[in-house]
A and B are shown apart, each in its own frame.
Chain A
Amino acid sequence: MSEEILKKLEDAVVEIRMDDASDFMNQAMEEGISGVDILNKALVTALDRVGVLFRDGDYFLPDVLMCVNIYNQAFQLIEPELKAGDYEPKGKVMLGTVKGDTHDIGKNILSALLQGNGYEVINLGMNVPAETFLEEAQKTNPDIIGMSALLTTTMPEMKNTIELFAKAGLRDQYRFIIGGAPVTQDFANQIGADGYGEEAQAGVNLVKSLIA
């Protein structure tokens, strides 16, 4: 019985049926299925399938983002139970678009994909000054700090941010990753970042390789 509900929930997430997903989620919880089982046997498996559909070209960004959205809503319902137990996210990633730059579509895609892959994401939004990255990092203690820029004129802010962390003696506590249309691996090397991803999926792979 519980397996059947979990399968229905998984299908509803994959097929982007938001109301059905919500109904099956409630049913699963009413039946007393544990949060860990809901997560691992329905929600994570659903996003694995979505990942395959995306890779094969059947799903597009809006599909993936809607699936992740449904996943997040479901996740919030079981989060208290998970936190009370010994559930740990795979890692914590802080993301922000640097100061002066208000282009954050790519960063938001990465944020959604990371959540869908079991990472906790702290999304600082756009136009984020170096000081804010530093303050928030000290508060939330992420494993990875990701910065994005779409303009060549705002790219130097990435360097400034890393330098501010270095001055505070905190550079080595975090891994810095960068991305955005004008950003290249060469630039990442120049400013001493720990990694670069040319698009969102590459960003997810990068995070996986850095945290593993």
Chain B
Amino acid sequence: MQSERLRVLSDKEIKSIHEHSFSILEETGIRVNLKRLRDLLADHGARVDESSKIVRFPSDMMEKYLKTAPSQFSICGNDLDLKKAISTTDRVWSGLGTAFRMLDPVSGEWTDATHEDAVKHIVLFDYLENVSSNQLDVLAQDIPMHTIHVEAIRDWAKNCKKGFGMGAYGVKASTEMVDMVGMAIGGKEKLQENHPFVTIISIQSPLSTAHIQLEGMMIFAEHRVPMCVSPEAMAGTTAPVTLAGLLVQHNAEILAHIVMTQVINPGTPVLYGSVSTVAEMRRGTAALGSIECGMISAASAQLAHYFNIPCRAVAGGTDSKIIDIQAGFERAQSMLMAAMAGVNYITCVGTLESTNLGAHVLSVIDNEIIGRVERAVRGIEVNDISLAADIIKNVGPDGNYLMESHTQQHFRQEHFIPSISDRDQLEIWDKGGRQSIMDHARKKMEKLMDEHQANSIDPALAAELDRFVDMVKKQSIDDYYAAEWEE
């Protein structure tokens, strides 16, 4: 059977957390920093206090709109036929923003992430078999902030067949993202049914919202772009120090945001997102490599599935700054927990330092860890063939199974076969130049990069994308602010 789901909460505890979250939304509410959204929510049953911008959500309104969130949809790539199901039982793996610095694993030195790094990352992801899409994971520091989204979408359109996504950044940038992704797939109207782009709506904990994120939410919901509504609540600073307390608060925040997406456009695809973790109690920073982060991701899957809504959670984070044992076990532990708990969209791949520091070679290593984790989740298949009683009788005492056709027929499915982990004996490893997983991963990465061919896109489309980027480049950051809606 498929491995049992990891459960960190009992049914009774899940219910209790939801009840407390509902009572917080009804009594305390959350601050909604966007006038037109407050108006819309008021029209649909929310109690709005305009002077404080606090919106309270009656439970019946919550119940009503949580039901319109789809339990399943599919995402696709730049190639629209590259479909992946998103539901409460499926699972895909994706990148996670945003590394603004890159580590050179050989020297141990870091540099600002460049446009070249961003492109390399997009290309690399296209070839990692266990990773379905990437976000704007590498935040190039050599591109002006107000053009970074259009540059990224152009790079994606030209180099990647898989899906893409990025956070919501205000009216102007979000509109441009929709326009440009629409352009890349042959028409904005296609976004209603096809989802090559998944956006992250970040939630401001505790119990608040980010103005530019809500603007993005309204624009993306209109076009049915799937949204991950995700807080990065930290137990001890922006959330109660107890994990249960954090879950009550972050659950209230997420459910309120899901309801907002459904009020804007019922049926729009949305994921219950979590980037929540514990605070580092010496410095007050987020510790995404904590074991509790894995537990919170696991609990989030349970809380989301209670409403039959797919869950996105962070996993594979580490607080290490170098590629060491800490970076290894922290990423593996949370990836395993998130997957075993049934998280449906796991964002993780290729970062250090709580996702702020990137390293290309780590994406290749994460791809291998995902392969191992997927094997564990798949569980142990038990049937007449896999039980192999006849084979055991035939081979008998002191025999061996290496030459059995049963072995040849099943080893690829039964065993996860590593492509970069080293399993050689000492002498062979010594003769082979004492290669580590880093050496193997680098070799695999170089091979993938060498073999890469850019997408063969229509020259007219390429020119259209270039014109769009040039148009945005000519504008200034002031144009960006001028487009904002009333807070």
A residues lining the B interface (CB < 8 Å): 16, 18, 57, 60-63, 65-66, 69, 102, 104-105, 108-109, 112, 126, 181, 184, 198-199
Q: Is the CB of B463 closer than 8 A to any CB of chain A?
A: no
Find the A residue at minimum CB distance from B408: A62
Q: Is the CB of A66 within 8 A of B408?
A: yes
Q: Select which of A16, A108, A198, A199 is within 8 A of B400 by beta carbon.
A: A108
Whole-angstrom distance from the CB of B420 to the nearest CB of chain A? Answer: 11
What separation, in Å, do the CA atoms of A183 and B404 have in the docked complex?
Answer: 27
Find the B residue at minimum CB distance from A70: B405
Interface residues as binary, B386-411 with A (CB distance below 8 Å gives 1, 0 otherwise):
00000000000010101111011001
Which residues of B sit under 8 angstroms from A181, Cβ to Cβ?
425
4 residue pairs, one from A and one from B, having the closest CB atoms: A62-B408, A66-B408, A62-B407, A198-B427
Q: Is the CB of A61 within 8 A of B402?
A: yes
Find the B residue at minimum CB distance from A60: B411
What separation, in Å, do the CA atoms of A18 and B404 have in the docked complex?
Answer: 13
Which residues of B sit under 8 angstroms from A109, Cβ to Cβ?
402
Known pairs A126-B398, A181-B425. 7 more at Cβ < 8 A?
Answer: A18-B405, A61-B402, A62-B407, A66-B403, A108-B400, A109-B402, A112-B403
Task: Using known A-B contacts A16-B408, A60-B411, determine if residue A65 contacts B425 with beta carbons closer than 8 Å.
Answer: no
What separation, in Å, do the CA atoms of A66 and B403 have in the docked complex?
Answer: 7
A-B CB contact pairs (8 Å), 12 listed = A16-B408, A18-B405, A60-B411, A60-B417, A62-B403, A62-B407, A66-B403, A66-B408, A105-B402, A108-B402, A198-B427, A198-B431
Which residues of B sit under 8 angstroms from A65, Cβ to Cβ?
402-403, 408
What separation, in Å, do the CA atoms of A62 and B89 have in the docked complex?
Answer: 34
Whole-angstrom distance from the CB of A51 to the nearest CB of chain B? Answer: 17
Whole-angstrom distance from the CB of A200 to the nearest CB of chain B? Answer: 11
Q: Is the CB of A62 within 8 A of B411?
A: yes
Q: Select which of B403, B425, B428, B431 is within 8 A of A69 by beta carbon.
A: B403
Residues of B397-453 at the interface with A, using a CB-CB cut-off of 8 Å, are: 398, 400, 402-405, 407-408, 411, 417, 419, 425, 427-428, 431
Q: Is the CB of A66 within 8 A of B405?
A: yes
Which residues of B sit under 8 angstroms from A104, Cβ to Cβ?
400
What separation, in Å, do the CA atoms of A57 and B420 have in the docked complex?
Answer: 11
Find the B residue at minimum CB distance from A199: B428
Q: Is the CB of B428 within 8 A of A198?
A: yes
What separation, in Å, do the CA atoms of A61 and B402 have in the docked complex?
Answer: 7
Which residues of A sit under 8 angstroms from B431, Cβ to Cβ?
198
What separation, in Å, do the CA atoms of A66 and B412 have in the docked complex?
Answer: 14
Which residues of A sit under 8 angstroms from B417, Cβ to Cβ?
60
Find the A residue at minimum CB distance from B419: A57
What separation, in Å, do the CA atoms of A112 and B425 have in the docked complex?
Answer: 21
Q: Is the CB of A108 within 8 A of B403?
A: yes
Whole-angstrom distance from the CB of A178 to the nearest CB of chain B? Answer: 14
Find the B residue at minimum CB distance from A109: B402
What separation, in Å, do the CA atoms of A53 and B53 have in the docked complex?
Answer: 66
Task: Using known A-B contacts A60-B417, A62-B402, determine if residue A184 contacts B411 with beta carbons closer than 8 Å.
Answer: no
Find the A residue at minimum CB distance from B410: A62
Q: Is the CB of A102 within 8 A of B403?
A: no
Whole-angstrom distance from the CB of A115 to the nearest CB of chain B? Answer: 12
What separation, in Å, do the CA atoms of A10 and B238 have in the docked complex?
Answer: 67
Find the A residue at minimum CB distance from B407: A62
Q: Chain B CB within 10 Å — which of A57, A60, A108 has the most?
A: A60
Whole-angstrom distance from the CB of A3 to the nearest CB of chain B? Answer: 28
Interface residues as binary, B202-230 with A (CB distance below 8 Å gives 1, 0 otherwise):
00000000000000000000000000000
Interface residues as binary, B447-486 with A (CB distance below 8 Å gives 1, 0 otherwise):
0000000000000000000000000000000000000000
What separation, in Å, do the CA atoms of A58 and B403 have in the docked complex?
Answer: 18
Which residues of B sit under 8 angstroms from A63, Cβ to Cβ?
408
Which residues of A sit under 8 angstroms from B400, Cβ to Cβ?
104-105, 108
Whole-angstrom distance from the CB of B10 to the nearest CB of chain A? Answer: 44
Whole-angstrom distance from the CB of B418 to the nearest CB of chain A? Answer: 11
Which residues of A sit under 8 angstroms from B419, Cβ to Cβ?
57
Which residues of A sit under 8 angstroms from B398, Cβ to Cβ?
102, 126
Whole-angstrom distance from the CB of A17 to the nearest CB of chain B? Answer: 11
Which residues of B sit under 8 angstroms from A105, Cβ to Cβ?
400, 402
What separation, in Å, do the CA atoms of A88 and B400 have in the docked complex?
Answer: 31
Which residues of A sit under 8 angstroms from B408, Cβ to Cβ?
16, 62-63, 65-66
Which residues of A sit under 8 angstroms from B427, Cβ to Cβ?
184, 198
What separation, in Å, do the CA atoms of A190 and B402 have in the docked complex?
Answer: 32
Which residues of B sit under 8 angstroms from A112, Cβ to Cβ?
403
Whole-angstrom distance from the CB of B446 to the nearest CB of chain A? Answer: 16
Which residues of B sit under 8 angstroms from A108, Cβ to Cβ?
400, 402-403
Which residues of A sit under 8 angstroms from B411, Cβ to Cβ?
60, 62
Q: Chain A CB within 10 Å — which of B403, B404, B419, B428 has the most?
A: B403
Which residues of A sit under 8 angstroms from B403, Cβ to Cβ?
62, 65-66, 69, 108, 112
What separation, in Å, do the CA atoms of A112 and B403 have in the docked complex?
Answer: 9
Which residues of A sit under 8 angstroms from B425, Cβ to Cβ?
181, 198-199
Whole-angstrom distance from the CB of B305 to the nearest CB of chain A? Answer: 38
What separation, in Å, do the CA atoms of A5 and B428 have in the docked complex?
Answer: 40
What separation, in Å, do the CA atoms of A109 and B400 have in the docked complex?
Answer: 11
Which residues of B sit under 8 angstroms from A18, Cβ to Cβ?
405
Whole-angstrom distance from the CB of A19 to the nearest CB of chain B? Answer: 12
Residues of B141-199 at the interface with A, using a CB-CB cut-off of 8 Å, are: none
Find the B residue at minimum CB distance from A68: B403
What separation, in Å, do the CA atoms of A62 and B407 have in the docked complex?
Answer: 6
What separation, in Å, do the CA atoms of A198 and B425 have in the docked complex?
Answer: 9
Whole-angstrom distance from the CB of A72 to the nearest CB of chain B? Answer: 11
Which residues of A sit under 8 angstroms from B404, Cβ to Cβ?
62
Which residues of B sit under 8 angstroms from A198, Cβ to Cβ?
425, 427-428, 431
Which residues of B sit under 8 angstroms from A57, Cβ to Cβ?
419
Find the A residue at minimum CB distance from B404: A62
Find the B residue at minimum CB distance from A57: B419
Find the B residue at minimum CB distance from A127: B398
Which residues of B sit under 8 angstroms from A69, Cβ to Cβ?
403
What separation, in Å, do the CA atoms of A57 and B424 have in the docked complex?
Answer: 13
Which residues of A sit under 8 angstroms from B428, Cβ to Cβ?
198-199
